[in-house]
Structure 1
Amino acid sequence: MLSGKRALVFAADERLAESVARHLGRLGAQVWVSGLDTEAVEALAEKVNADGGEAHPATVDPTDPHHVREYVAAVAAKGPVDVCFNGFELPAHSSGVGVPYRDLDPAVLTEALGEVIGAQFLTAREAARVMVPAGRGSIITVASTNGSSGRPHTGALGAVAGALEALARSMATEYGPSGVRVNHVRATRLSTGPMYYENALGRPVTLDEVAGTVAWLSSDVSGGVTGQVIEVSGGEHGLSEAVAARGPRRERHVELDLP
């Protein structure tokens, strides 16, 4: 499915990116895994290689423009870059989750937007820089379902997720004529504990299921798909949860004077 493809996986020291890297490797892609935790990235490369894949580890800060550009250029100098995925995650403890917006420090919101959007934008832009001349490539961004669910008390998570979806769509329009596809994966909260929200499957979505979707978007099988937000949530009904969280509804009666 991905034989001969060369893939960049940023923030590979995060859980989802690790699963993505292993999926891509099993499907035949050569994977360049990078992150800030050198030991974790090197351990991941060993796992990919043990699975029969081919992985090349590197220590890269996805929020550093110069570092990202130099790294992508170095990989591209050895051959085409076909896939770019960034699994950079925003820690819940630093995103204001659980704090009502009336009490949220504005700095939490602006810093989170700058850090996550900055990292996703940088890696996507630098990948596109080397993909456009080749006339092909697939860029995949990822965030939670908070960008569309309307859940309360999500701090910066909803704003970040919504912004990333918009970024992916705009990049897809800009790079589409050059043969470069850009899509966004809207992933549910990945939990091994009891679900406290509804979904159609009645169970949590797994890391491997999200990673499998990324692998599909990385392949030529999805060649006609760009500018899309692909939700992997098991059929989550986030809005109903958000409404339920408000408590008992107050009855309202509105008279309409219709002709």
Structure 2
Amino acid sequence: MSNEKEKEMLLENKNVVVYGGGGAVGGAVARGFAREGARVFLTGRNLDSVTTVAKEISAAGGAVETAVVDATDEKSVTEHLDAVVAGAGSIDVSFNAIGISPQGLQGIPFTDLPVDNFLRPITTYAQAHFVTGRSAARHMIPRGSGVIMMHTPEPARVALPLVGGMSVGWAAMEALNRAASAEWAQYGVRSICLRTTGMVETPVIDVVYGLHADAMGIPKDQFTAAVTAMTHRKRPTTLAELTAVAVFLASDQASAMTGTVANLTGGLIVD
């Protein structure tokens, strides 16, 4: 038997929707899904960034379609998913990887943080993940299968200063992940969260670490080294590591996993 026949693609014939697909996390995971045979429906609010990722997927031989979708807007999400189902027949995986700019939200003490700035990540993340998760579940439940996925960094669990409402918003996502599983897993719809460290490969972490370093009055390299030293293996999670686990958890091989947080923090958090 040839190597090609021996290696079965994990997501062959799966239809996957990725929100925030033009970002570092969404783009990396989308490329990983496509490599394992999924047909990827790549969405975001910025069509240019989404199109860039889509071209990379197509050039590598993957199947991809793009659309402008605001993950916080119920009408935008539902209309897109209805169109996906009408054309492809199903939604098998929904991965929400949206992010918001940390400017004005992190690196600021609670005593100086405006209420609106504290609430913005909480309401944005909770709303976006509820809207996309619920909309996907409505299509998945009648078929008796599906996976809803999200990603959080370590402040969802670890108490760190100067993170503002971000940590509360990420913790809310993990709570929603558990609640969604409690309601939907009995109908074959799994809910999974992947938790990583800050990933230094991503542009947003470069900004975040800069904000925290400035607030502490230290060089950014020193702050980065201090955060890295908190992990057991003394290095942060990589996009490749996140992508590999996301692909596995989206596949049928992870069918027993739901309502859980996959701990990819390299020992920064010990369960």
Aligned length: 237
Deviations 1:144-201 (A, max 9, x none): 1101110111111110111000000000010011100001111210114653222112
1:227 counterpart (259, 265, 269):
259
Q: Are residues 1:195 and 2:225 paired?
A: yes
2:101 counterpart (70, 91, 98):
91
Unaligned residue ranges in structure 2 (runs of 5+) = 1-9, 202-220
For 2:269 and 2:130, locate their aligned partners in 1 and report how far apart those are by CA, in whole Å: 29
For 1:182 and 1:118, locate their aligned partners in 2 and report how far apart those are by CA, in whole Å: 16
CA RMSD across the alignment: 1.4
1:141 counterpart (134, 150, 154):
150
Unaligned residue ranges in structure 1 (runs of 5+) = 239-259
Deviations 1:217-256 (A, max 9, x none): 1100100000001121111159xxxxxxxxxxxxxxxxxx
For 2:235 and 2:28, locate their aligned partners in 1 and report how far apart those are by CA, in whole Å: 19
Letter of the structure 2 residue corresponding to residue 85 of structure 1: F
| TM-score (structure 1 length as normaliser) | 0.88
For 1:154 and 1:110, locate their aligned partners in 2 and report how far apart those are by CA, in whole Å: 12
For 1:203 and 1:145, locate their aligned partners in 2 and report how far apart those are by CA, in whole Å: 14
Contact 1:88 1:120 in 2 (8 A): no
Aligned equivalent of 1:116: 125
For 1:125 and 1:138, locate their aligned partners in 2 and report how far apart those are by CA, in whole Å: 12
Residue 28 of structure 1 deviates from its aligned partner by: 0.5
Letter of the structure 2 residue corresponding to residue 184 of structure 1: C
Residue 204 of structure 1 deviates from its aligned partner by: 2.1
Deviations 1:31-52 (A, max 9, x none): 0001011111112111111112
Bigger Rg, structure 1 or 2: 1
Letter of the structure 1 residue corresponding to residue 168 of structure 2: A
Contact 2:77 2:132 in 1 (8 A): yes
Please give the secondary structure, in 2, of the residue aligned with 1:183: strand
Instruction: Please list, as runs of the form range in 1=range in 2, the aligned pairs for 1:177-192 lying within 5 A after superposition.
Output: 177-192=186-201
Q: Which moved more, 1:80-89 or 1:96-105?
A: 96-105
Instruction: Please list, as runs of the form range in 1=range in 2, the aligned pairs for 1:1-259 lying within 5 A after superposition.
Output: 1-78=10-87, 79-94=89-104, 96-192=105-201, 194-197=224-227, 198-236=230-268
| TM-score (structure 2 length as normaliser) | 0.84
For 1:129 and 1:138, locate their aligned partners in 2 and report how far apart those are by CA, in whole Å: 12
Please give the secondary structure, in 1, of the residue aligned with 2:103: helix
Residue 125 of structure 1 deviates from its aligned partner by: 0.8
| Structure 1: 4+ residue segments shifted above 4 A | none
Q: Percent identity?
A: 31
Residue 103 of structure 1 deviates from its aligned partner by: 1.9
Contact 2:22 2:52 in 1 (8 A): no
Q: Which moved more, 1:191-200 or 1:108-117?
A: 191-200
For 2:179 and 2:269, locate their aligned partners in 1 and report how far apart those are by CA, in whole Å: 27
Greater per-residue helix proportion: 2
